[in-house]
Structure 1
Amino acid sequence: MRLYITRHGTTEWNIEKRLQGWGDSPLTEEGINRAVSLGESLADVDFDIIYTSPQKRAMETAKLIMGNKNTKIITHDGLKELRFGIWEGMELDEINEKYPEEYYLYRNRPELYIPIDGESFKDLFNRVESFLEELKAVDYRNVLIVTHGMTIKTLITIIKGLTLDEFSSLPVYTGTALNICEVKGGKFELIVEGDISHIKGYEKFDESY
Protein backbone atom coordinates (compact mmCIF):
# COMPACT_ATOMS: atom_id res chain seq x y z
CA MET A 1 0.00 0.00 0.00
CA ARG A 2 1.18 3.49 -0.79
CA LEU A 3 0.07 6.52 1.25
CA TYR A 4 0.03 9.98 -0.30
CA ILE A 5 -0.08 12.44 2.59
CA THR A 6 -0.69 16.15 2.08
CA ARG A 7 -1.72 19.24 3.96
CA HIS A 8 -4.75 21.35 3.05
CA GLY A 9 -4.23 24.34 0.75
CA THR A 10 -3.34 27.81 1.99
CA THR A 11 -6.11 29.47 4.01
CA GLU A 12 -6.88 33.03 5.05
CA TRP A 13 -5.64 32.36 8.58
CA ASN A 14 -2.43 30.87 7.22
CA ILE A 15 -1.73 34.15 5.46
CA GLU A 16 -2.61 36.09 8.62
CA LYS A 17 -0.42 33.71 10.70
CA ARG A 18 -3.28 32.69 12.98
CA LEU A 19 -3.52 29.26 14.58
CA GLN A 20 -6.53 27.36 13.26
CA GLY A 21 -6.68 24.11 15.18
CA TRP A 22 -10.26 22.88 15.27
CA GLY A 23 -11.37 26.28 13.98
CA ASP A 24 -11.46 26.95 10.26
CA SER A 25 -10.98 29.60 7.62
CA PRO A 26 -11.58 29.53 3.85
CA LEU A 27 -9.04 28.44 1.29
CA THR A 28 -7.45 31.37 -0.51
CA GLU A 29 -7.08 31.56 -4.28
CA GLU A 30 -3.50 30.40 -3.74
CA GLY A 31 -4.72 27.45 -1.68
CA ILE A 32 -7.21 26.46 -4.37
CA ASN A 33 -4.55 26.71 -7.08
CA ARG A 34 -2.12 24.57 -5.07
CA ALA A 35 -4.72 21.85 -4.58
CA VAL A 36 -5.64 21.83 -8.27
CA SER A 37 -1.94 21.70 -9.24
CA LEU A 38 -1.32 18.79 -6.88
CA GLY A 39 -4.31 16.99 -8.38
CA GLU A 40 -2.88 17.49 -11.85
CA SER A 41 0.48 16.10 -10.76
CA LEU A 42 -1.28 13.02 -9.32
CA ALA A 43 -3.69 12.56 -12.23
CA ASP A 44 -2.17 9.20 -13.18
CA VAL A 45 -2.51 7.75 -9.68
CA ASP A 46 -5.60 5.59 -9.22
CA PHE A 47 -6.63 6.21 -5.63
CA ASP A 48 -8.72 3.52 -3.96
CA ILE A 49 -9.86 5.80 -1.14
CA ILE A 50 -9.34 9.24 0.36
CA TYR A 51 -9.11 9.82 4.10
CA THR A 52 -9.50 13.40 5.21
CA SER A 53 -9.92 15.41 8.35
CA PRO A 54 -13.58 16.42 8.79
CA GLN A 55 -12.51 20.06 8.90
CA LYS A 56 -13.73 22.05 5.91
CA ARG A 57 -10.33 23.24 4.65
CA ALA A 58 -9.11 19.65 4.38
CA MET A 59 -12.29 18.32 2.80
CA GLU A 60 -12.33 21.09 0.21
CA THR A 61 -8.68 20.43 -0.62
CA ALA A 62 -9.41 16.72 -1.11
CA LYS A 63 -12.24 17.50 -3.53
CA LEU A 64 -10.05 19.90 -5.50
CA ILE A 65 -7.23 17.35 -5.75
CA MET A 66 -9.64 14.73 -7.10
CA GLY A 67 -11.30 17.03 -9.63
CA ASN A 68 -13.76 15.02 -11.74
CA LYS A 69 -12.84 11.65 -10.23
CA ASN A 70 -15.43 9.89 -8.06
CA THR A 71 -13.07 8.47 -5.46
CA LYS A 72 -14.79 7.85 -2.14
CA ILE A 73 -13.88 10.31 0.62
CA ILE A 74 -13.98 9.16 4.25
CA THR A 75 -13.64 11.67 7.09
CA HIS A 76 -11.70 10.54 10.14
CA ASP A 77 -11.50 12.37 13.47
CA GLY A 78 -7.99 11.03 13.98
CA LEU A 79 -6.83 13.35 11.20
CA LYS A 80 -8.08 16.57 12.81
CA GLU A 81 -5.55 19.27 13.57
CA LEU A 82 -4.21 19.67 17.10
CA ARG A 83 -6.86 21.50 19.13
CA PHE A 84 -5.28 24.73 20.39
CA GLY A 85 -8.07 25.80 22.73
CA ILE A 86 -8.03 29.52 23.53
CA TRP A 87 -5.17 30.07 21.06
CA GLU A 88 -7.36 29.29 18.07
CA GLY A 89 -7.83 32.35 15.86
CA MET A 90 -4.99 34.23 17.59
CA GLU A 91 -1.96 35.55 15.70
CA LEU A 92 1.33 33.83 16.51
CA ASP A 93 2.95 37.07 17.70
CA GLU A 94 0.04 37.69 20.07
CA ILE A 95 0.29 34.16 21.49
CA ASN A 96 4.04 34.58 22.01
CA GLU A 97 3.47 37.90 23.78
CA LYS A 98 0.68 36.70 26.09
CA TYR A 99 1.86 33.13 26.73
CA PRO A 100 5.65 33.15 26.16
CA GLU A 101 6.45 30.10 28.30
CA GLU A 102 3.66 27.95 26.90
CA TYR A 103 4.43 29.03 23.35
CA TYR A 104 8.12 28.19 23.78
CA LEU A 105 7.21 24.67 24.94
CA TYR A 106 4.73 24.29 22.08
CA ARG A 107 7.45 25.13 19.53
CA ASN A 108 10.48 23.52 21.18
CA ARG A 109 9.53 21.02 23.92
CA PRO A 110 6.27 19.38 22.81
CA GLU A 111 6.58 16.64 25.43
CA LEU A 112 6.26 19.35 28.14
CA TYR A 113 3.60 21.49 26.44
CA ILE A 114 0.40 21.80 28.48
CA PRO A 115 -2.47 23.28 26.43
CA ILE A 116 -4.99 25.81 27.70
CA ASP A 117 -8.39 24.21 26.97
CA GLY A 118 -6.82 22.25 24.09
CA GLU A 119 -5.05 18.99 23.30
CA SER A 120 -1.59 17.89 24.31
CA PHE A 121 0.78 16.44 21.75
CA LYS A 122 0.36 13.09 23.51
CA ASP A 123 -3.36 13.30 22.72
CA LEU A 124 -2.56 14.01 19.08
CA PHE A 125 -0.04 11.16 18.88
CA ASN A 126 -2.54 8.72 20.37
CA ARG A 127 -5.25 9.41 17.80
CA VAL A 128 -2.82 9.48 14.87
CA GLU A 129 -1.33 6.14 15.98
CA SER A 130 -4.85 4.69 16.16
CA PHE A 131 -5.53 5.89 12.62
CA LEU A 132 -2.35 4.25 11.32
CA GLU A 133 -3.23 1.00 13.06
CA GLU A 134 -6.59 1.05 11.27
CA LEU A 135 -4.82 1.52 7.93
CA LYS A 136 -2.73 -1.60 8.50
CA ALA A 137 -5.94 -3.63 8.52
CA VAL A 138 -7.19 -2.51 5.07
CA ASP A 139 -6.12 -3.74 1.66
CA TYR A 140 -5.68 -0.76 -0.63
CA ARG A 141 -3.03 0.06 -3.21
CA ASN A 142 -3.09 3.86 -3.18
CA VAL A 143 -4.54 6.02 -0.41
CA LEU A 144 -4.72 9.82 -0.33
CA ILE A 145 -4.64 11.43 3.12
CA VAL A 146 -5.51 15.13 3.46
CA THR A 147 -4.92 16.64 6.87
CA HIS A 148 -3.13 19.43 8.76
CA GLY A 149 0.29 20.79 9.67
CA MET A 150 0.77 19.35 13.16
CA THR A 151 -1.07 16.17 12.26
CA ILE A 152 1.21 15.51 9.29
CA LYS A 153 4.25 16.27 11.42
CA THR A 154 2.96 13.64 13.86
CA LEU A 155 2.37 11.13 11.05
CA ILE A 156 5.92 11.62 9.76
CA THR A 157 7.38 11.38 13.28
CA ILE A 158 5.67 8.02 13.81
CA ILE A 159 6.48 6.74 10.31
CA LYS A 160 10.17 7.58 10.84
CA GLY A 161 10.15 5.80 14.17
CA LEU A 162 10.97 8.98 16.10
CA THR A 163 9.72 9.92 19.56
CA LEU A 164 7.73 12.88 20.81
CA ASP A 165 10.99 14.31 22.15
CA GLU A 166 12.27 14.41 18.55
CA PHE A 167 9.08 15.92 17.12
CA SER A 168 10.48 19.47 16.98
CA SER A 169 13.34 18.37 14.71
CA LEU A 170 10.87 18.01 11.82
CA PRO A 171 9.44 20.91 9.80
CA VAL A 172 5.80 21.85 9.40
CA TYR A 173 5.17 21.24 5.72
CA THR A 174 3.57 24.01 3.71
CA GLY A 175 0.09 23.69 2.19
CA THR A 176 -0.26 20.77 -0.29
CA ALA A 177 3.38 19.65 0.18
CA LEU A 178 3.39 15.93 -0.61
CA ASN A 179 4.78 13.03 1.43
CA ILE A 180 4.64 9.45 0.13
CA CYS A 181 4.92 6.38 2.32
CA GLU A 182 5.10 2.66 1.49
CA VAL A 183 3.39 0.21 3.84
CA LYS A 184 4.72 -3.36 3.69
CA GLY A 185 4.22 -6.06 6.28
CA GLY A 186 2.77 -3.56 8.71
CA LYS A 187 5.87 -1.37 8.50
CA PHE A 188 6.07 2.17 7.15
CA GLU A 189 8.80 3.58 4.93
CA LEU A 190 8.88 7.23 3.87
CA ILE A 191 9.98 7.50 0.22
CA VAL A 192 9.07 11.12 -0.61
CA GLU A 193 9.14 13.96 1.92
CA GLY A 194 7.87 17.53 1.56
CA ASP A 195 7.65 17.59 -2.25
CA ILE A 196 6.57 21.05 -3.45
CA SER A 197 7.47 20.69 -7.12
CA HIS A 198 3.85 21.38 -8.13
CA ILE A 199 3.74 24.72 -6.25
CA LYS A 200 4.50 27.89 -8.18
CA GLY A 201 5.75 30.94 -6.26
CA TYR A 202 6.17 28.96 -3.05
CA GLU A 203 8.34 31.57 -1.35
CA LYS A 204 5.49 34.10 -1.50
CA PHE A 205 3.10 31.97 0.54
CA ASP A 206 5.22 29.97 2.95
CA GLU A 207 3.02 29.10 5.94
CA SER A 208 5.42 26.55 7.43
CA TYR A 209 4.95 27.29 11.12
Structure 2
Amino acid sequence: MLHLYIARHGQTQWNVEKRMQGWMDSDLTELGLYNACALGERLKDIELNQVYISPSKRTEETAKNVLGSRRPPLVIDHMFREMSLGSWEGKKQEDIERDEPDLFRTYFHYPEAYRQQGSETFFDFENRVRLALQTILDSHASGNVLLVTHSVFILMLLNIIKGRRINDIWNSAYIHDTSLSLVEFDENGTAEIIIEGDGKHRKPISAF
Protein backbone atom coordinates (compact mmCIF):
# COMPACT_ATOMS: atom_id res chain seq x y z
CA MET A 1 0.00 0.00 0.00
CA LEU A 2 1.29 3.44 -0.97
CA HIS A 3 0.34 6.31 1.32
CA LEU A 4 0.64 9.62 -0.54
CA TYR A 5 0.56 12.62 1.81
CA ILE A 6 -0.17 15.83 -0.08
CA ALA A 7 0.42 19.25 1.50
CA ARG A 8 0.04 22.79 0.25
CA HIS A 9 2.80 25.29 0.99
CA GLY A 10 2.44 27.70 3.89
CA GLN A 11 0.75 31.07 3.66
CA THR A 12 2.75 33.65 1.67
CA GLN A 13 2.74 37.43 1.57
CA TRP A 14 1.01 37.32 -1.80
CA ASN A 15 -1.66 35.05 -0.34
CA VAL A 16 -2.35 37.76 2.23
CA GLU A 17 -2.45 40.40 -0.51
CA LYS A 18 -4.64 38.13 -2.67
CA ARG A 19 -2.18 38.17 -5.54
CA MET A 20 -2.03 35.36 -8.09
CA GLN A 21 1.26 33.48 -7.78
CA GLY A 22 1.54 30.70 -10.35
CA TRP A 23 5.20 30.21 -11.19
CA MET A 24 6.21 33.47 -9.48
CA ASP A 25 6.95 33.51 -5.78
CA SER A 26 6.73 35.38 -2.49
CA ASP A 27 7.97 34.76 1.03
CA LEU A 28 6.17 32.72 3.67
CA THR A 29 4.52 34.76 6.40
CA GLU A 30 5.04 34.14 10.11
CA LEU A 31 1.76 32.22 10.11
CA GLY A 32 2.88 30.21 7.09
CA LEU A 33 6.09 29.20 8.86
CA TYR A 34 4.21 28.34 12.06
CA ASN A 35 1.70 26.13 10.27
CA ALA A 36 4.45 24.36 8.32
CA CYS A 37 6.12 23.45 11.63
CA ALA A 38 2.73 22.39 13.01
CA LEU A 39 2.25 20.08 10.03
CA GLY A 40 5.69 18.65 10.69
CA GLU A 41 4.62 17.89 14.26
CA ARG A 42 1.50 16.20 12.93
CA LEU A 43 3.57 13.99 10.62
CA LYS A 44 6.49 13.37 13.00
CA ASP A 45 5.65 9.69 13.55
CA ILE A 46 5.30 8.94 9.82
CA GLU A 47 8.46 7.42 8.38
CA LEU A 48 8.76 9.17 5.03
CA ASN A 49 10.43 7.17 2.27
CA GLN A 50 10.52 10.05 -0.21
CA VAL A 51 9.57 13.71 -0.46
CA TYR A 52 8.63 15.46 -3.72
CA ILE A 53 8.37 19.24 -4.03
CA SER A 54 8.13 21.90 -6.70
CA PRO A 55 11.13 24.23 -7.16
CA SER A 56 9.17 27.24 -5.88
CA LYS A 57 10.75 28.95 -2.88
CA ARG A 58 7.48 28.72 -0.94
CA THR A 59 7.33 24.95 -1.25
CA GLU A 60 11.02 24.52 -0.44
CA GLU A 61 10.68 26.63 2.71
CA THR A 62 7.53 24.76 3.70
CA ALA A 63 9.15 21.36 3.21
CA LYS A 64 12.20 22.46 5.21
CA ASN A 65 9.99 23.41 8.17
CA VAL A 66 7.80 20.32 7.87
CA LEU A 67 10.81 17.99 7.88
CA GLY A 68 12.80 19.72 10.61
CA SER A 69 15.82 17.55 11.38
CA ARG A 70 14.59 14.66 9.25
CA ARG A 71 16.42 13.99 6.01
CA PRO A 72 14.39 11.65 3.77
CA PRO A 73 15.32 11.50 0.06
CA LEU A 74 14.12 14.70 -1.61
CA VAL A 75 13.18 15.27 -5.26
CA ILE A 76 12.66 18.81 -6.62
CA ASP A 77 10.98 18.81 -10.01
CA HIS A 78 9.23 21.37 -12.22
CA MET A 79 6.40 18.97 -12.94
CA PHE A 80 5.07 19.68 -9.42
CA ARG A 81 4.85 23.46 -10.02
CA GLU A 82 1.64 25.42 -9.75
CA MET A 83 -0.36 26.18 -12.90
CA SER A 84 1.26 28.91 -14.97
CA LEU A 85 -0.91 32.04 -15.08
CA GLY A 86 0.97 34.23 -17.54
CA SER A 87 0.44 37.97 -17.11
CA TRP A 88 -1.82 37.46 -14.09
CA GLU A 89 1.08 36.43 -11.87
CA GLY A 90 1.82 39.06 -9.23
CA LYS A 91 -1.48 40.86 -9.82
CA LYS A 92 -4.25 41.19 -7.26
CA GLN A 93 -7.35 39.13 -7.97
CA GLU A 94 -9.58 42.20 -7.63
CA ASP A 95 -7.59 44.02 -10.32
CA ILE A 96 -7.78 41.08 -12.70
CA GLU A 97 -11.51 40.74 -12.12
CA ARG A 98 -11.94 44.47 -12.84
CA ASP A 99 -9.70 44.60 -15.94
CA GLU A 100 -10.48 41.19 -17.48
CA PRO A 101 -13.87 40.18 -16.07
CA ASP A 102 -14.80 37.71 -18.80
CA LEU A 103 -11.51 35.82 -18.66
CA PHE A 104 -11.53 35.87 -14.87
CA ARG A 105 -15.03 34.38 -14.82
CA THR A 106 -14.03 31.75 -17.38
CA TYR A 107 -11.05 30.71 -15.24
CA PHE A 108 -13.22 30.04 -12.19
CA HIS A 109 -16.50 28.93 -13.80
CA TYR A 110 -15.62 27.40 -17.20
CA PRO A 111 -12.00 26.23 -16.89
CA GLU A 112 -12.21 24.00 -19.98
CA ALA A 113 -12.71 27.17 -22.05
CA TYR A 114 -9.94 29.20 -20.35
CA ARG A 115 -7.24 30.48 -22.72
CA GLN A 116 -4.68 33.19 -21.93
CA GLN A 117 -1.47 33.95 -23.79
CA GLY A 118 1.54 32.83 -21.78
CA SER A 119 -0.59 30.71 -19.44
CA GLU A 120 -1.13 26.97 -19.35
CA THR A 121 -4.56 25.76 -20.35
CA PHE A 122 -6.29 23.53 -17.85
CA PHE A 123 -5.89 20.68 -20.34
CA ASP A 124 -2.11 21.14 -20.50
CA PHE A 125 -2.01 21.49 -16.74
CA GLU A 126 -4.06 18.33 -16.25
CA ASN A 127 -1.64 16.40 -18.48
CA ARG A 128 1.31 17.64 -16.41
CA VAL A 129 -0.36 16.68 -13.13
CA ARG A 130 -1.18 13.23 -14.52
CA LEU A 131 2.47 12.79 -15.48
CA ALA A 132 3.57 13.90 -12.01
CA LEU A 133 1.24 11.42 -10.34
CA GLN A 134 2.30 8.59 -12.63
CA THR A 135 5.97 9.36 -11.91
CA ILE A 136 5.30 8.88 -8.20
CA LEU A 137 3.29 5.69 -8.75
CA ASP A 138 5.96 4.22 -11.03
CA SER A 139 8.59 4.84 -8.37
CA HIS A 140 6.68 3.68 -5.28
CA ALA A 141 4.51 0.60 -4.94
CA SER A 142 4.31 1.02 -1.19
CA GLY A 143 5.52 3.16 1.70
CA ASN A 144 4.95 6.76 2.74
CA VAL A 145 5.53 9.60 0.29
CA LEU A 146 5.09 13.32 0.94
CA LEU A 147 4.29 15.78 -1.84
CA VAL A 148 4.56 19.49 -1.01
CA THR A 149 2.99 21.55 -3.77
CA HIS A 150 0.31 24.16 -4.56
CA SER A 151 -3.43 24.66 -4.19
CA VAL A 152 -4.57 24.37 -7.82
CA PHE A 153 -2.13 21.51 -8.38
CA ILE A 154 -3.69 19.65 -5.45
CA LEU A 155 -7.21 20.38 -6.68
CA MET A 156 -6.31 19.03 -10.12
CA LEU A 157 -4.61 15.97 -8.64
CA LEU A 158 -7.65 15.12 -6.53
CA ASN A 159 -9.93 15.86 -9.49
CA ILE A 160 -7.99 13.31 -11.56
CA ILE A 161 -8.15 10.72 -8.78
CA LYS A 162 -11.91 11.28 -8.52
CA GLY A 163 -12.24 10.68 -12.26
CA ARG A 164 -13.92 14.01 -12.89
CA ARG A 165 -13.86 16.48 -15.78
CA ILE A 166 -11.75 19.63 -15.70
CA ASN A 167 -14.85 21.78 -15.22
CA ASP A 168 -15.33 20.11 -11.83
CA ILE A 169 -11.95 21.18 -10.47
CA TRP A 170 -13.32 23.96 -8.24
CA ASN A 171 -16.09 21.73 -6.81
CA SER A 172 -13.99 20.51 -3.88
CA ALA A 173 -13.00 21.59 -0.40
CA TYR A 174 -10.79 24.68 -0.33
CA ILE A 175 -7.10 23.84 0.00
CA HIS A 176 -5.85 26.11 2.79
CA ASP A 177 -2.17 26.73 3.45
CA THR A 178 -0.40 23.59 4.79
CA SER A 179 -3.67 21.62 4.60
CA LEU A 180 -3.13 17.88 4.35
CA SER A 181 -4.66 15.32 2.03
CA LEU A 182 -3.95 11.59 2.08
CA VAL A 183 -4.52 9.19 -0.80
CA GLU A 184 -3.90 5.46 -0.49
CA PHE A 185 -3.08 3.30 -3.51
CA ASP A 186 -3.38 -0.47 -3.30
CA GLU A 187 -1.26 -2.98 -5.21
CA ASN A 188 -3.59 -2.64 -8.22
CA GLY A 189 -3.25 1.13 -8.30
CA THR A 190 -6.76 1.71 -7.02
CA ALA A 191 -6.91 5.00 -5.14
CA GLU A 192 -8.90 5.97 -2.08
CA ILE A 193 -8.94 9.52 -0.71
CA ILE A 194 -8.65 9.19 3.09
CA ILE A 195 -8.15 12.85 4.01
CA GLU A 196 -8.95 15.87 1.86
CA GLY A 197 -7.73 19.39 2.63
CA ASP A 198 -7.61 18.88 6.39
CA GLY A 199 -6.10 21.65 8.48
CA LYS A 200 -6.68 20.62 12.08
CA HIS A 201 -3.02 21.36 12.87
CA ARG A 202 -3.27 24.99 11.64
CA LYS A 203 -3.36 28.00 13.94
CA PRO A 204 -6.12 30.44 12.89
CA ILE A 205 -5.18 33.80 11.43
CA SER A 206 -6.93 35.50 14.35
CA ALA A 207 -4.23 34.13 16.66
CA PHE A 208 -1.59 36.24 14.90
User: Into which bin does the TM-score normalised by the smaller protein fall?
Assistant: over 0.9
Partner of 1:197: 200
Question: RMSD across aligned C-alpha pairs, in angstroms?
Answer: 1.4
Look up the equivalent residue of 1:60 and give its one-letter code. E
SS at match of 1:169: coil
Instruction: Note the C-alpha offset of 1:116.
Output: 2.9
Look up the equivalent residue of 1:67 and give its one-letter code. G
Task: Give the conservation status (yes or no) of the 8 Å contact 1:110–1:168.
Answer: no
Superposed CA offset, 1:89-114 (max 9, x none) = 00000000011000001011110111
Query: Unpaired segments of 5 or more residues in structure 1?
Result: none
SS at match of 1:137: helix
In 2: Cα distance, 1:12 partner to 1:136 partner: 33
Partner of 1:164: 166
SS at match of 1:68: coil
Superposed CA offset, 1:127-149 (max 9, x none) = 01011111221234000000001
Look up the equivalent residue of 2:143 and give its one-letter code. R
In 2: Cα distance, 1:15 partner to 1:84 partner: 18
Moved more, 36-45 or 194-203: 194-203
Query: Unpaired segments of 5 or more residues in structure 2?
Result: none
In 1: Cα distance, 2:117 partner to 2:99 partner: 12
Moved more, 63-72 or 160-169: 160-169
Task: Give the conservation status (yes or no) of the 8 Å contact 2:184–2:191.
Answer: yes
State the TM-score, normalized to the length of structure 1: 0.94
Identify the match of residue 180 of structure 2 among 156, 178, 181: 178
Partner of 2:152: 150
Instruction: Note the C-alpha offset of 1:165.
Output: 2.1
* Residue correspondences, number: 205
SS at match of 1:54: coil
Look up the equivalent residue of 1:131 and give its one-letter code. A
- Amino-acid identity (%): 39
Task: Give the conservation status (yes or no) of the 8 Å contact 1:4–1:179.
Answer: yes
Instruction: Note the C-alpha offset of 1:202.
Output: 5.0
In 2: Cα distance, 1:86 partner to 1:204 partner: 34
